[in-house]
Amino acid sequence: MPDNDTEKMALHIDGVVCSTWDDLSVDSDIGVPADAFSFSWFDAEQDVLPDYVKGGSNCTVSCNGETVLTGILDRIGQRVGRNGLSTNLSGRDLAGQLIDCHAPIDAAANLSLSELIKRYVTGGDLANLPITIGKVQNDWLKGKTGVDIGESVWDVLTAAAQASGQYVWLSADGALMIGNPFDVPQPTIKPKFYLYNDDRYEQNNVLDADYQYDISNAFSTMEVVGQNDKGKNFKTKVTSDRMALKRHRIINDSRSDTQAEAEKFAAKAMADAWLDATDLTLPVSGWTHNGQPWRTGWEVSFDSNVLTRAVGDWVIYGRTMLLSRANGKTTELRLKRREDWMQPVKYADLIKK
């Protein structure tokens, strides 16, 4: 087990840094667009929060000096009781602003992902956000999409990325990333988890384990049909032999503009369905592995003589760092099968803010 006493979590807001907390949660999940944080302290005699710290302030969260989230303070909550004053500060990463805000209703139809980023992220009303643009391949920015009235900026960006089979996410330091969120630097020593109930039980390094396998949203065949704005029809089909049961799904694709884009969309839809079918959740002690904060995209392994279905290689799909008076410092790791991920990809410089 790690030495939890040396681990420090700090919230930085407008020059104010606080690293003493009674309760906290810092979440990151590849499948959820906006990472969230919540920090609380209890039983204070008076309010020590400066008046200039307000909702809408830029902030960062660091663990052992390493940035794990860049975002906006959404909410300040305070309550006075017989034990004193309790204060809660909560917010989300910068993707939260892209989710909350809608694309302008006069937006042009069928904009490429590159044009959408320049219009809505590095330009426009959100240009003052401290969002940078990560490294991407040129082909991934050619996917186009229309913009519907009332559609969020984030949904528009996601739809255009899906047209070329890619994902969109925000990095811990506030960079907008397009591509494969598992293509990240790996720790020097691969994390390995053990859960035994035999003479190897002293090797156990997880508190418990929860394994789920659910095929209710997985299919043997996915067919994508649609029509582009020039009236040309397209249709493509992808299959999987992972189940004997024949399950067929048809998706009406209004985003793809070409047959090639539809094929990429279909492949991603099939991969996503099987990615979602299997989950392994492991709560572990502390917030770090060999001094590094737990991060999504890391590859790990799990071995057990009890939960044998879950034995093998996994990738951290989500993680929540927690602090409570009852359980101390813990991290919940939400894992996906390594072989279920769709692609290895490479990055190239393209857009600069």
Alpha helix (H) ranges present in the chain? Answer: 95-100, 113-120, 153-162, 259-275
What pLDDT was estimated at residue 109?
Answer: 65
Q: Which domains, ranges and CATH numbers included, belong to the chain?
A: 1-92+281-346 (2.30.300.10), 97-179 (3.55.50.10), 221-275 (3.30.1920)
For residues 262 and 236, the answer to whether their CB atoms sit within 8 Å is: yes
Give me the residues paired with residue 132 across strands: 175
Q: What one-letter code names the amino acid at 153?
A: V
**Calpha distance 150→132 (Å, rounded):** 25
pLDDT, position 257: 72
Distance CA 307, CA 197 (A): 10
Say what angle helices 113-120 and 153-162 make with each other, to 10 degrees. 160
- Say how far apart CA 71 and CA 322 lie, in whole Å: 18
Q: Is 267 exposed, middle or buried (0-12, 13-18, 19+ CB in 10 A)?
A: middle
pLDDT in tens, the chain (353 residues): 455 678 999 999 988 899 989 999 999 998 888 999 999 999 877 677 888 899 999 999 999 999 999 999 999 999 998 888 999 999 999 999 999 998 876 555 677 888 888 888 888 888 888 888 877 666 656 666 777 778 899 998 888 887 777 888 899 999 998 887 888 899 999 999 999 999 999 999 998 999 999 999 999 999 999 887 677 888 999 999 988 899 999 998 876 777 887 888 888 889 889 999 999 999 999 999 999 999 999 999 999 999 999 999 999 999 999 999 999 999 999 999 998 876 543 433 344 44
Rounded CA-CA distance 97/70 in Å is 12
In the Cβ-directed half-sphere of 55, how many Cα atoms lie within 13 Å?
Answer: 8
What is the Cα–Cα distance from 65 to 8, expressed in whole angstroms? 8
What is the C-alpha to C-alpha distance for residues 5 and 287, in angstroms, rounded to an integer? 11
- Here the tokens at position 341 are 């991920």
3-class SS shares of the chain: helix, strand, coil, % to 5: 20, 40, 40
pTM flag (> 0.95) = no
CA distance 187 to 292: 8
Return the structure tokens found at 331. 């991290």
| 124: nearest Cα among 86, 160, 157, 171 | 157
The per-residue pLDDT for 52 is 87
pLDDT for 352 equals 43
Q: Tell me the HSE value of 254 on the side-chain side, using a 13 A CA sphere.
A: 5
Spell out the SS3 assignment of 257-268: CCHHHHHHHHHH
In this structure, are residues 99 and 121 in contact, taking their beta carbons and an 8 Å threshold?
no
